[in-house]
A and B are shown apart, each in its own frame.
Chain A
């Protein structure tokens, strides 16, 4: 299956689900800052990769998929769980890119312009995440 966009999917998410994500995202960002302030950057830095909104997102994926199947007249609970599992598998692949992002910032930030380093780190993250996904798909479809 090729990668595609479906903007209509945004309408499936309810306003309070957007609010929950926003609140979780904001809360973990503030928490990471507070932890770094009190316990130092070495401890606080761990939480820059805390899976803060992942439980909310995966649960949402499962809920949407289950609702979709129910609307189609298919009474099944396993489809939602499977969709969330595939989403989690994608996040596992994405975490390779996440580590590369952090590695890039760690090694380059002391020596180069901050904006350029963040831009390079984002590019490294995206490239590696997509590459890992492509390799995984190729292996899976062999």
Chain B
């Protein structure tokens, strides 16, 4: 039941931010909402209620690493599409490996105990 609620909340908030990106101009400004904290907003409140503030704060600390990896990921996407003339789908899907490598690599080296 909790997962169904998470699914609905996540879907709703993510869609809301994505639609905000649709209606805004110029595209570079709209792109800001592509990196909105939508998943975090959908999930952190529920986490505080279910597992407490300390647990949610720990998640947020890791999210800093996730966000830094997002920076590397989207910068790479820009470069691949603009300079290497790669189409949007292969550039954005293929680059997910960079997000995973950066996030999991940092986790393995600095965060895992």
Contacts and interface: CB of A to CB of B under 8 A. Distances in A.
Interface residues of B, number: 85
A34 B66 CA distance: 17
Nearest to B40: A48
Interface string A19-56: 00111111111101110100001111111111111110
Q: Indicate the size class of the contact surface on chain A.
A: 35 or more
A12 B48 CA distance: 38
Q: Main SS of chain A's interface residues?
A: helix
B11 A25 contact: yes
A5 B11 contact: no
Contact of A110 (B51, B53, B63): B53
Interface string B72-85: 01110110011001
Contacts of A1: 25-26
B31 A99 contact: no
A28 B10 contact: yes
Interface in B3-49: 3, 6-15, 18-19, 21-48
Interface of A: 1, 3-7, 9-10, 12-13, 18, 21-30, 32-34, 36, 41-55, 57-59, 61-62, 78, 80-99, 101-103, 105-106, 109-110, 114, 118, 121-122, 125, 129-130, 133, 136-137
